[in-house]
Structure 1
Amino acid sequence: MRPQVTNSASGSSAQPTRSAQEITPKERRRVLTGTLVGTVIEWYDFFIYALAANIVFAQLFFAPAGEEFQRIFSLVTIGLSFLFRPLGAAIAGRLGDRFGRKPLLVVTLIMMGIATTTMGLLPTYDQIGLWAPFLLLALRILQGISAGGEWGGAVLMSVEYAPKGRRGFYGAFPQIGVPTGMLLASAVLAVVTWIAPGQAFYDWGWRIPFLLSLVLVIVGLFVRSAVDESPVFNEIAELKSNDKAAGKANVKPPKLFPKFGIIVMFGILLIAGNGASGYMITGGYIQGVATRPIDDGGLGYDQVGVQLAVLVAAAVWLISTLTSGWLADKYGRRRIMALGWFVQAAGIIPLFELVKNFGVTGVLIGTSLLAVGLGMTYGPQAVWYAELFPASVRYSGVSISYALGAILGGAFAPTIAELLLNGLGTTWAIVIYLLAMAALGLVGTVMLKETRDIRIDYQFEASGDWDKWNNRELPLSECLVADEPHQAAPAMAETASAEPAKS
């Protein structure tokens, strides 16, 4: 029996709140800026925490664990927040599908800002004892909950505002929040380690990047407050309002996992395959290995030099991400993603040999090569996730798939890498792990359907045509957007039934 996803208002004369022609290029630029600035702040916060966890938190917050385990505990806190991302995704997804994308973007940004700024004010273990690591963990959990809901809303705003044939490129903008946040974090940390070198960085310098997050959040709130609600959500809200005015009961959207569980499962593999390798850089693992003293298990490279090398890699990642989003509009989501996994594998294989044997230059070359493949497998993800789910559950589907994938692939990747290195004594064990995760990403890519230019308006779902496409009863060629992705097709408005779908 097909789940009852109907639109009782679609037989009326109701039209979407705004026509395609009313959305100006200026408004679209404002939306892209708003979605980008939030993800930049999210990932800036993540990067500075990950780098601090690799470099200073082990000694400042986890000293009682002893030299053998304090770094492991510190690295585990990086992954801890990921365990709470699904909670944030479920809450934000539920509220975002019901009340809109924009309010959640503002709330999650405020939560991230509070958590990160407070970390910069925390006393250390020497000052307040066990309260220090417990407070750090509590703030890390708050970061995870807020991050779990932020990304999905940003993706939907950018994709649902995109003009015809440019969703992949628009969807890449929240994706470049990762390399842009890494650029910003690397630049700030390079300046801070120059201003406060050596012991000064351990004593007080590490706090500066966390406190600067408050300034970024204020800027982000200013930008996002000027962004209008998604046109697709406005369409849903108006049709439901018309139903209510006509005395008709609104049909509840279907439950996510019973109907869309297969899409969620294979969607998880996409971010998992990308995340495991990505978190070698974004999780600070490469930087930690490169900069820790030799007698502390590291390579003893210059901290500023390593941060600048990673900054260049972040720029490469940014360009690759935008380019892959653009290519996904021309050649399809699956084709570009599939190619990207092979490029990513080509960057994984020589990574650690370059880092170990060629100093800071090896860090620059190794991370930059990896960044090309990371961008190719990350850029098209946003638009593909958004197009795979129908409008009524899109926020939930996108956010939860991404959050669960981040747990599988990224949450504990640095910890797993450290355990593999300690247990087997060779970085080739890490390489095999990363290649296996990339292979999972390729499996997810092969199993998911191509969605380029598919309709994403609510009428497409309400008419039952989304079900037909999902069940392979309608080919993609008969489900393509005719004009703008958020503009409902009049034909669908006439054919959508007010009656529940038949068995």
Structure 2
Amino acid sequence: MTEQPATAGPAEERTAETLSPADARRVAIGALVGTAMEWYDFFLFTAAASLVFNKTFFVTGDPTTSLLASFATFGVGLVARPIGGLLFGWMGDRYGRRRTLLITIVGIGMVTGLIGLLPDYFQIGLAAPLLLMALRVLQGLSVGGEWGGAMTLAIEHAPLHQRSRFAAIPQIGSPIGTIMSSGLFAIIGLIVGQGAAFTAWGWRIPFLLAIPLLAVSLWLRSRLEESPVFVAMLDTRSVDRTPVRSMFRLQWRQLLVASLVAMLGVPGFYLVTAFMISYGNQTLKIDSTVLLVGSLLAAVGQIPTVLICGRLGERFGASRVIIGGAVLSAVAAFPAFALLATRNPIAVAAGMIIAVCLLSVSYAVSGTLMTGLFRPEMRYTGTGMAQNLAGVISGFMPLLATALVAGAGQHWWPAAVLLIAIAALTGLGGILGPRYAVPLAGFRH
């Protein structure tokens, strides 16, 4: 027997009909602030894990072992994300999207600032990597509740026929956060060099800047209004008191499909950023400044890509755009890594730009399809959990790619095959998505 999609109920459709594009844009930008903070903090850790932590916190005497330990810590934080997704998803579906997002943004900013103050292995020994791991777990918990809530808040403020457009706005938090973090790393590297000063204290400056960024983000987010869909659920007493249990009991298929949709934008992104930086620097001996500038340029190109593809999702449906983006990423996997292997700065940057921009085609509209898979009363929980399940895989993606490439004599081809496999999974999610999505009048999945 074929499962029928869950219905959203008339309340959501009636609420969406009263929303204006101006209000939707304001809320989407407010949601963007938090996602930019999320990606800023996580890309800082990505870059630091690739360039610094293997030298200052995980001192083993063997460069490969130190790098693997550093990436493992990167993965540990992402393992904590599903737990944070369940905790904050429950809060968001039970007590409101807005207040939950205020908590998550504070957690992200404070922990990132504390990492910048943490003594290294040469100062306090084994306690340094243990404390780093503990802070990474706390950061992962907070981040686990951020994206799902921001995306839910954005789409629930948007008119139905324009949800894809406004759901793309929080997605540019990824390139904005990357531009801020990689830009700061590159500037500091140019000022103090890539030697002892950068390793000792230069890398800490971008982490410490998370504190003033938190103050600005908190002020902007505090001005947002609660989701009108959640307010309608309160008025009709349709809030689910146990959204986590209901999601696993009633919408576990949607959870699996949504996780597939998120694969290219999360694990794929970390593969073509964290691994490319690590492999380029450690194996190909490309200057880290070249790699960071390449990441910066790729992020700049990602912004118009995401916004344009959000409009394409509005016109053709999110699922079709996701499938198209998956095909493009698979086709470009080998050329992108081949460009990196040339060691030519222009070719290296081109390879990173191609890989990031093409995976961003699917990423732009992934939030549209993912939120559309879940009923409003468990949407925060389901969307966040799906993103975080993909996040768990992404945390170990640089580690897996490093191990596979090492087994292939340090050749890059296993990483390209890995990217193709990830793209195929997202393409499958795009195919299955419309079958399990919540039916809403006038909305194209």
Q: Distance in 1 between matches of 2:421 and 2:15?
A: 46
Residue aligning to 2:139:
143
Q: Is 1:237 matched with 2:227?
A: no
Q: Is 1:361 matched with 2:375?
A: no
Residue aligning to 1:220:
217
| CA distance 1:412–1:130, change in 2 (3 Å) | same
Residue aligning to 1:206:
203
Residue aligning to 2:407:
423
Is this contact kept in 2: 1:168–1:328, CA < 8 A? yes
Gapped regions of structure 2 (runs ≥ 5): none
Residue aligning to 1:291:
281
TM value normalised by structure 1? 0.82
Q: 1:309 aligns with which of 268, 284, 294?
A: 294
Q: Select between 364-373 and 41-50 the one with higher mean Cα deviation.
A: 364-373
Deviations 1:360-398 (A, max 9, x none): 112211011112321111011111111111111111111
Q: Select between 299-308 and 321-330 the one with higher mean Cα deviation.
A: 299-308
Indicate the structure with greater helix content.
Answer: 2
| CA distance 1:19–1:123, change in 2 (3 Å) | closer
Q: Is 1:440 matched with 2:425?
A: yes
Deviations 1:17-37 (A, max 9, x none): 97855x555533331221001
Compute the displacement of 1:281 (Å).
3.5
Amino acid in the other structure paired with 2:377: S
Is this contact kept in 2: 1:97–1:393, CA < 8 A? yes
Compute the displacement of 1:39 (Å).
0.4
Q: For 1:168-183, list aligned pairs within 5 A.
A: 168-183=164-179
Is this contact kept in 1: 2:57–2:121, CA < 8 A? yes
Q: Distance in 2 between matches of 1:163 and 1:16?
A: 9
| CA distance 1:252–1:73, change in 2 (3 Å) | closer
| CA distance 1:451–1:159, change in 2 (3 Å) | farther
Compute the displacement of 1:345 (Å).
1.0
Compute the displacement of 1:271 (Å).
1.4
Q: SS in structure 1 opposite 2:237? A: helix
Q: Distance in 1 between matches of 2:64 and 2:75?
A: 19
Is this contact kept in 1: 2:39–2:177, CA < 8 A? yes
Residue aligning to 2:384:
399
Q: SS in structure 1 opposite 2:225? A: coil
Q: 1:279 aligns with which of 270, 274, 294?
A: 270
Q: SS in structure 1 opposite 2:117? A: coil
Q: Select between 36-45 and 348-357 the one with higher mean Cα deviation.
A: 348-357
Is this contact kept in 1: 2:31–2:154, CA < 8 A? yes
Compute the displacement of 1:266 (Å).
1.6
Amino acid in the other structure paired with 2:184: V
Compute the displacement of 1:15 (Å).
11
Amino acid in the other structure paired with 1:268: S
Q: Is 1:390 matched with 2:380?
A: no
Indicate the percent of aligned positions where both proteins have the same amino acid: 33
Q: Distance in 2 between matches of 1:109 and 1:324?
A: 27
**What CA RMSD, in Å, does the superposition of the two structures yield over aligned residues?**
2.8
Residue aligning to 1:99:
95
Residue aligning to 1:465:
none
Q: Is 1:413 matched with 2:375?
A: no
| CA distance 1:54–1:251, change in 2 (3 Å) | closer
Is this contact kept in 2: 1:266–1:448, CA < 8 A? yes
| CA distance 1:303–1:433, change in 2 (3 Å) | closer
Residue aligning to 1:247:
none
Number of aligned positions between the proteins: 439
Q: Distance in 2 between matches of 1:306 and 1:431?
A: 18
Deviations 1:163-220 (A, max 9, x none): 2321001101111111111111111111111121122101110100100111111110
Residue aligning to 1:349:
334
Amino acid in the other structure paired with 2:222: S
Q: 2:248 aligns with which of 241, 257, 260?
A: 257
Residue aligning to 1:467:
none
> Which one has a bigger Cα radius of gyration?
1
Residue aligning to 2:84:
88
Q: Distance in 2 between matches of 1:450 and 1:230?
A: 26
Q: Distance in 2 between matches of 1:82 and 1:235?
A: 33
Compute the displacement of 1:93 (Å).
0.9
Residue aligning to 1:463:
none
Q: Distance in 1 between matches of 2:14 and 2:355?
A: 44
Q: Select between 230-239 and 305-314 the one with higher mean Cα deviation.
A: 305-314
TM value normalised by structure 2? 0.92
